[in-house]
Amino acid sequence: MGGLGHVALTSLTIGGPTPGAEAWPGVQVWTDQPARSCMASQYAGWAINPPGFFAMGSGPLRAKARVETELFGKLGYAEQARRGVLVLEGRTLPTDDVAKWVAGKAGVAVDALIFAIAPTASLSAGIQIAARVLETGLHKMDTIGFDVKRVVSAFGVCRRVHRGDLRGFGDSFDK
């Protein structure tokens, strides 16, 4: 979230305070800068696709690179930075050539990049996906034409999901 939001682990009770209610691990997310923290950083909207490699990129480096020209045009937001962090959703570690490609697109030195990579089936990605509870809502708003810059504060809670690559997205509320 580019330092503009907060994520905390929490416990969620499903079924209310009744016998048989289950506690689930979850996350709570909040920000007073939702367009910037969610859409300009957290959203995995940058296709990292040099020849022979593919991953989706999220993180604050997106606001420096601004390769998603339509989105960043709507947000009217850019960052100036000498370094950058990018989270890659994929199973393959980036090579030196991938790092050069990303650095070139972002206008930073290769040795100024930090990559974090997590397969969608991993525990860390399951937590990361759940922590996108605000970002997915804002993305939907943007998709239907709502100006997400009008949202001044946001809060969300989501159960942590970990069931495999495909079930990590959207299929998260069944046991």
Q: Which domains does the chain have, with CATH numbers?
A: 5-159 (3.10.340.11)
HSE (side-chain half, CA atoms, 13 Å) at 147: 7
pTM above 0.75, yes or no: yes
Residue 39 above 70 pLDDT?
yes
Cα separation of 151 and 33, whole Å?
A: 8
Q: What is the pLDDT of residue 174?
A: 37
Averaged pLDDT score across all residues of the chain? 87
Q: What is the pLDDT of residue 119?
A: 80
**Percent of the chain beyond pLDDT 90?**
64
For residues 33 and 148, the answer to whether their CB atoms sit within 8 Å is no
**Percent of the chain beyond pLDDT 70?**
90
**C-beta atoms surrounding 166 within 10 Å:** 10
HSE (side-chain half, CA atoms, 13 Å) at 143: 6
Q: What is the pLDDT of residue 153?
A: 97
Q: How confident is the model at residue 168 (pLDDT cuts 50, 70, 90)?
A: very low
Which position has the higher pLDDT, 85 or 91? 85
Q: How confident is the model at residue 19 (pLDDT cuts 50, 70, 90)?
A: confident
For residues 139 and 43, the answer to whether their CB atoms sit within 8 Å is yes
Residue 99 above 80 pLDDT?
yes
Which position has the higher pLDDT, 162 or 54? 54
Q: What is the pLDDT of residue 170?
A: 44
Q: What does the pLDDT average to over 5-10?
A: 93
